[in-house]
Amino acid sequence: MKKVCPSKIGVWLVLILITATVPVFYAAFSKQEYGGLPVLIIVTIFVIHLIATTRYTIGGTMLRVQSGFIINKKIGITSISNVVETYNPISSPAASLDRLQIYYNDGTVIISPKDKALFISHLHAVNPDIVFVPRNKKG
């Protein structure tokens, strides 16, 4: 049975999207200059599509990381060694800064499942040898 974990969507990402698009739309309509609107609309729809379709699916012994039609990565869960909590802002298929960095035989990927504990328990059900490293809590 497949388990689909949607990406957590960070408030910061929504604020950036609004801050980047609303003033441009406002300027275009207030000045009645519509030439660049088709490009802005297409880019905005594309970004919203990427955010809305970012998900992580566990099926059998495979983890599938998807973000729109751009990212479709399959990772063998038995090849995962560590899962580390991180706030690393590097570009990745994650719509939040509350992230997990997954280390596996062929590399690493950073994701942001909405329910991290449930996601990790699904991984552990397939590979109990995965080491989970929580983020250091300061203070």
pLDDT digits (tens, 9 = 90+) for 66-76: 999 999 999 99
Of the candidates 51, 57, 65, the one whose C-alpha atom is nearest the C-alpha of residue 96 is 51
The CATH architecture to which 3-133 belongs is Roll (2.30)
**What kind and span of H or E run contains 37?**
helix 37-52
For residue 139, which amino acid is it? G
pLDDT digits (tens, 9 = 90+) for 12-59: 888 988 998 999 889 988 988 888 889 989 999 999 999 999 999 999
d(CA 133, CA 5): 20
pLDDT digits (tens, 9 = 90+) for 20-29: 899 988 998 8
Residue pair 102/94 in contact (Cβ under 8 Å)? The answer is: no
Backbone angles phi, psi at 87, to 5 degrees: -115, 20
CA atoms within 13 A on the CB side of 131: 6
Task: Supply the pLDDT for residue 139.
Answer: 42
For residue 83, which amino acid is it? V
Ranges of each domain in the chain: 3-133
